[in-house]
Amino acid sequence: MASLQFLGAIGEVTGSAYLLRSAKSTILLECGLHQGRGADEANQAPFEFRVEAIDAVVLSHAHLDHSGLLPRLVREGYRGPIYMTRATHDLIDIMLHDAAFLQMKDTEWENKQRHKAGKAPLEPLYTEQDVEATLQLRQTLDYRQRIPISPDVQLQYHDAGHILGSAIVELTVEDAGTTRRLVFSGDLGNIHHPLLQDPEYLQQADTLLLESTYGDRNHRSYEETVEEFQQALQAAAEAGGNVLIPAFAVGRTQEILFWLGKFYRQGRLPQQQIFLDSPMAIAASELYFRYLHLFNDDDAQALVDTAHHRWEEWLPNLRCTRTVEESMQINTIHGGAIIIAGSGMCTGGRISHHLKNNLWKNNTHLIIVGFQAAGTPGRALVDGTERLKLFGREVNVKAPVHTLGGFSAHADQQQLLEWAGHFKPRPRLYLVHGEQDKREILQEQFRQHYDWNARLPAYKEKIEL
């Protein structure tokens, strides 16, 4: 009997991993990095399976909470195929190299402290060489193309509308003469995204894994969110302070650039200097223009017609800062600039330096445009902390914090209910990739709307398909 085991993103939104075992094969669905509280221990913990037993890996999209442990899997001996869409093939190159670089730098800093304390040095989770070995295993397929990935499992991708190349995963398993269809939503996109297509609707599955990141709420209307964004920029300009925007390098950054360009063309952008201070976000943004066929034709047409494959054509006062020296020079600007930098949850990267230099100023405005996981500095800022520890020192938080939930790249509660409601007859439904309280609220919504019993699997729980 084919089975599925839940090995990550259960009661949390990071570390996505699910293990499918059939009569003739073992498939790993996702291999995500843990982020937030307890992440280091979780990422270093032994895998809950024998690496040599895995026949294939299936990836929904490039975000690190879904892909970030792949180099460690390869480091421990995996040599099989890693399936993904074509856009994910290109994005994951950028993201995994960046992740390896940050881990090497973090380990180097930690080892200096350990050396002073007389402790043994640590090894990074993986290296650039492990990333290169991982990239050699990539296998791509287009949306709606069905291929066999093992003797008894077939794979088909559908557009999830979450980030460039994101996919809903459909796995068809031949089991003792019976065909079983497993559908994993991946991360479903917000239907209001101005660049990407809306998530595709599917209608048939025996087992459905549904993300529940925003299972407890509906987003604010997109029109109101855009207006609130412009008002926050105006308030910062009147106060004479900088605007800090922690943004995920893939997806959110490009959406923010799109709207800043719209404001500029409407004469509603008061700031004269805009910095995209993230080498990974710069590379990802350039990559977007290779995949214009995946864009939402209506909303993105102005960008396509105007930009000529360069964001600076769309937003003329944009400056992309690639080097550390260029990034440090931004700190000499005392007011009037917009600074977009990673990481999106403020867990590291260049945004940490800008927070250190600006959070204590009451004329700085911090705009949160993405989900902030529990235990991250970004979540602490959203929850109203008055002090934030950065680089070993506490910084007073005087800057007003704006939280713009409507820019989310994830479907909200109503969109999740509507998307799942297209399946007829109702498959067995399991809510994953969501904090526990969010899953419980969404579970109750499925009961009220559809009289549908959505299950909340536990970590390491195994079910039969």
Asked if residue 209 and residue 152 are part of one domain, the reply reads yes
Distance CA 16, CA 8 (A): 5
Give the lowest-confidence range in 72-86, 239-253, 412-426. 239-253
Domain region containing 243:
222-407
Domain boundary among 391, 407, 423: 407
For strands 428-432 and 318-320, give the pairing.
unpaired
> Residues near 41 by Cβ (< 8 Å), separated by ≥ 6?
none
Over range 280-301, report the average pLDDT.
Answer: 85
Q: Tell me: the pLDDT tens digits for 4-49?
A: 999 999 999 999 999 999 999 999 999 999 987 788 899 999 999 9
Position 307 scores a pLDDT of 67
State the DSSP string of 217-234: --PPPHHHHHHHHHHHHH
Over range 334-357, report the average pLDDT.
Answer: 90
Q: Which candidate, 413, 433, 347, places its Cα nearest to that of 166?
A: 433
Asked if residue 436 and residue 395 are part of one domain, the reply reads no
Asked if residue 77 and residue 197 are part of one domain, the reply reads yes
- In the predicted model, is pLDDT for residue 290 greater than 90? no
Place of tokens 């221990």: 41
- Structural domains of the chain, count: 2
Domain boundary among 407, 424, 443: 407
Asked if residue 430 and residue 334 are part of one domain, the reply reads no
Asked if residue 159 and residue 10 are part of one domain, the reply reads yes
Asked if residue 367 and residue 295 are part of one domain, the reply reads yes
- In the predicted model, is pLDDT for residue 302 greater than 80? no
Asked if residue 263 and residue 173 are part of one domain, the reply reads no
Position 263 scores a pLDDT of 95
Q: Which CATH number goes with the domain that contains 164?
A: 3.60.15.10
- In the predicted model, is pLDDT for residue 300 greater than 80? no
Asked if residue 442 and residue 354 are part of one domain, the reply reads no
Q: Coil, strand or helix: which one is 119?
A: coil
**Which two structure tokens, joined as six digits, stand for 320?**
């992309």
Contact 92, 62 (CB under 8 A): yes
Asked if residue 183 and residue 232 are part of one domain, the reply reads no
Asked if residue 234 and residue 158 are part of one domain, the reply reads no
Over range 71-100, report the average pLDDT.
Answer: 96
For strands 387-390 and 393-396, give the pairing.
antiparallel
Q: What is the DSSP letter of 242?
A: -
Dihedral sign (CA 208, 211, 215, 221): negative
Helix axes of 279-288 and 252-266: crossing angle, nearest 10 degrees: 70
Domain boundary among 407, 435, 453: 407
pLDDT mean across residues, the chain = 93
Q: Which CATH number goes with the domain that contains 283?
A: 3.40.50.10890
- In the predicted model, is pLDDT for residue 365 greater than 80? yes
Q: Tell me: the pLDDT tens digits for 406-445?
A: 888 899 999 999 999 999 999 999 999 999 999 999 999 9
Over range 279-301, report the average pLDDT.
Answer: 85
User: pTM for the full model?
Assistant: 0.90
Distance CA 258, CA 237 (A): 20
Asked if residue 341 and residue 438 are part of one domain, the reply reads no
Dihedral sign (CA 350, 353, 44, 59): negative
Residues found in the chain:
465
Contact 431, 454 (CB under 8 A): yes
Asked if residue 379 and residue 305 are part of one domain, the reply reads yes
